[in-house]
Amino acid sequence: MTPVVVDGNSLSLADVVSVARDSAKEVLFSETAQKAVDESRELKLRLIATGQPIYGVTTGFGDSVTTQIAPAKAAQLQRNMIRYHLNGTGPLAPDEVVRATLLIRANCLARGNSGIQPAVVERLLDLLRHDVLPQIPERGSVGASGDLVPLCYVASALIGEGQLTFRGRTHEAGEVLAQLGLQPVALEAKDGLGLINGTSFSAAFAVLAAHDAHQLAVTADICTALASEALLGNRGHYAAFIHEQRPHRGQRDSAALLTELLDGSGLSLPHNQVVDLNDPLEGRGHGKLRRSIQDRYSLRCAPHVNGVLRDTLEWVDRWLETEINASTDNPLFDAGTDDVHSGGNFYAGHVVQAMDSLKVAVANIADLLDRQLELLVDEKFNNGLTPNLIPRFEDDNWEGGLHHGFKGMQLACSAITAEALKTSNPASVFSRSTEAHNQDKVSMAPIAARDARNIVGLTREVTAIHLLAACQALDLRGTDEMSPRTRAVHELVRSAVPFVDSDRRMDQDIAAVVELIRTGAVAEAAGVTSAN
């Protein structure tokens, strides 16, 4: 297993996901980075010795910057700052988010600009190595001056205070550190501020949301391919010529994948074959087509919707990779010039803009698939399938008229989609003036990032319901003429969930297919090797 090396410069989004979702992943602190961190600390100590005021080191915080303290009080100031920010509320952040937060914070500090002790970075990595996770409430941060409240729960754990999750149970931090033979960090000037004055909690949610959104982009195309077959669609809508004339990369990639997925299908046909299915006019002034030559927008324009998500992710990934390899605290120490700089790198503007945009793009995928589902279940639009995809019964069968199939599933899907759409409201425009008007413009990045992750989860549920309905429709239509790749997806779903031959509960079906999507099994069955 290749270890993840923390050096402040080369951490990848894939590294973050791997550590977040694999508690056994090895993490190392680069020797070069250790040296840079130590040099920054030495500069801090020299500057303190001059007696000059240094923000957050020998002054108060935020609006209290006008209060200078003696260097002898600096360590106590850091401990007090951590304690007075321990006021988070709401649910605890999931374990994978906490692991990602620890890794990103360690990497940002490893750049060697923060003036902290190397032991701070090492102890963050020790928590990861032992899978000892601070319990972090999700709410309480406005995203500038960094994720102060959530990251204080990390800092509190490092000094041996607060609660940790270890081996599935809650323990006092000091007890766990002692059990593992780890000394609490003895804070010195700037250590606490370096830990909490950054964007790492927001970035953790953001990186995981973006990773899973890549997976949804692929799965949405797979869903569209299945729906096109179930509805006897026109796969000519995805012809390369069309999309080369409006050559957004994501749109072209989505259309290309749909073309590949539907290759060999006898249900979703090329445009010329759809046209040939219709009778010629033969001198008549008008006539009714037997098969429409053009599908509704939710099928025809699917690459135009999913392409936006794909293209959004391209720049979101780029911005997030910059963010997780950045010094995001204040002040920063330049060991090359012996200067200290006060600035605002804790302002998570790029994270919030990325997440507000990602929220909208992903919510539109939920809406797209919900519209396709409506076509599948509605006998007015599903080209001869049963109403609500109920089984077919003979006229004299007692069960006739007793079943409603996917009617309830469509209702649930609509509700989930509405929640995703509602949650896509941008957070960045709701900046609040806080902390005695010192923090008078703040990013709201943690709210946007948490919402983005929630929307990804909601859209995954919509996708699961869509897959179940599409497979039900294709069972009714007949699977023999499906393309090889869509048939493989159908077989995967059927290996986990049976055909709905009578009304029954389907919440467990949804959960099973959500797991197939989450693990990448759906993409793998379709022959898509990577969701990224």
What are the CA-CA distances from residue 163 to residues 147, 160, 390 (Å)? 19, 9, 52
Reported as half-sphere exposure (CB side, CA atoms, 13 A), residue 150 has a value of 35
Q: Which two tokens stand for residue 187?
A: 């804070």
- Helix, strand and coil percent figures for the chain, each rounded to 5: 55, 5, 35
Residue whose C-alpha is closest to residue 140's, from 195, 88, 85: 88
Cβ-proximal residues to 221 (8 Å cutoff; 6+ apart), any chain: 254, 257, 258, 261, 302, 303, 306
Residue whose C-alpha is closest to residue 318's, from 343, 344, 354: 354
Amino acid at 201: F
Which residues are marked as active site? Answer: 55
Cβ-proximal residues to 126 (8 Å cutoff; 6+ apart), any chain: 132, 180, 182
Could you give the angle at the alpha carbon of 48 between the alpha carbons of 46 and 53, nearest 5°?
A: 140
CA distance 259 to 408: 32
Count the Cβ atoms, other than its own, within 10 Å of residue 72.
7
CA distance 258 to 281: 32
| DSSP 8-state secondary structure symbol assigned to residue 62 | G
Q: Which two tokens stand for residue 3?
A: 């270890």
DSSP-derived 3-state class of residue 185 = coil
Secondary structure E strands in 97-218: 133-134, 137-139, 163-166, 169-172
The dihedrals phi and psi of 509, each to the nearest 5 degrees, come to -60, -45
* β-strand pairing of 137-139 with 133-134: unpaired
